[in-house]
Amino acid sequence: MGYARTALLLAAMTGLFLAVGWLVGGQSGLVIAFLLALGMNAFAYWNSDKMVLSMYGAREVGAGEAARLHAIVGRLADNAGLPMPRVYVIDNPQPNAFATGRDPQHAAVAATTGLLELLSEEEVAGVMAHELAHVKNRDTLTMTITATIAGAIGMLANFAMFFGMSRSDDERDNGMGAIGGLLVALFAPLAAALVQFAISRSREYEADRIGAEICGRPLWLASALARLSAGAERVENRAAEAHPATAHLFIVNPLHGRAMDGLFTTHPRMENRIERLRRMAIEKGQTGPWS
């Protein structure tokens, strides 16, 4: 169901993008929007991982420099049937982590220094298993494409408002006037954001489930999520605040002032995620608060 829902949401996002293109320029606008989407997604496909790692000042570490983290990731990658990803550390006091890369053969996982200082080895394993689940599911590519299309819709919406107000009735083949252009400019980016957030929440639940299976201990991840959420609330992530469009990449929302599990959040409510993991542990016969 999670994959089907994601596919439907991606189709809705693409349809919205093409619809805005048609409203801006009729059939020619539709073609231009389609070509623009292809070009932007091709660029994101090849370069998004380098961009986001550079954005957060992530540095690649070898087994000699981060032996514990490398060993954990290597063991979990074997469990998941994945090639060993590149491992990065981000010098940031907020405890958090993310995965990136266009496919499992070009994947990278990154953890902040705050996370490595805060969590136990078992909790780090739970977090890295969650990130490898994103890699296994190719969520990193899905969310990159989603963010790219959402940004393009916002750009086209601005054109829609301009063209709707400036073009005469004889020049339009799409029936969009000044009011239509204004409505598109206002509501198309909002609709795109809602779809993007819905996809992000869906993929987080799925990564929690598969990550728990990869590490074999759902409560390791549940414990880590509780501690990461509390830590992220206390410690500001200035790089994330400067680049809020990347918030969906992280295992917990790095932005302040976020919390409710509603339409406008990139992450599910933490209590809901933890409760699902606890139910998984009960089904596996695992007991104890975080054992």
Q: Is 271 an annotated catalytic residue?
A: no
Residue showing tokens 């990136």: 100
- Would you say 88 and 61 are in contact if contact means Cβ atoms under 8 Å apart? yes
Q: Which residue shows structure tokens 């990461």?
A: 228
Is 204 annotated as belonging to a binding site? yes
Picking from 29, 50, 43, 3, the residue whose alpha carbon sits closest to that of residue 151 is: 43
Strands 108-112 and 86-90: parallel
Give bridge partners of residue 98 from the DSSP assignment: 110, 250
Question: Is 134 labelled a binding residue?
Answer: yes
Expressed in angstroms, the distance from the first to the final Cα of the chain is 29
Is 70 flagged in the annotation as binding?
no
CB 79 within 8 A of CB 107: no
Which residue from 162, 153, 227, 230 is spatially nearest to 192, judged by alpha carbons?
153
Q: What residues does 94 pair with on adjacent strands?
A: none
Please state, in angstroms and rounded to a whole number, the distance separating the CA atoms of residues 127 and 135.
Answer: 13
In terms of Cα–Cα distance, which of 89, 49, 93, 132 is closest to 228?
A: 93
Among 146, 142, 286, 143, CA closest to 218: 286
Per annotation, catalytic residue among 122, 131, 206, 233? 131
φ and ψ at residue 42, rounded to 5 degrees = -65, -45
> From CA 129, how far away is CA 134, in angstroms rounded?
9
- Residues annotated in a binding site: 130, 134, 204
Residue positions forming the annotated binding site for Zn(2+): 130, 134, 204
List, by residue number, the catalytic residues: 131
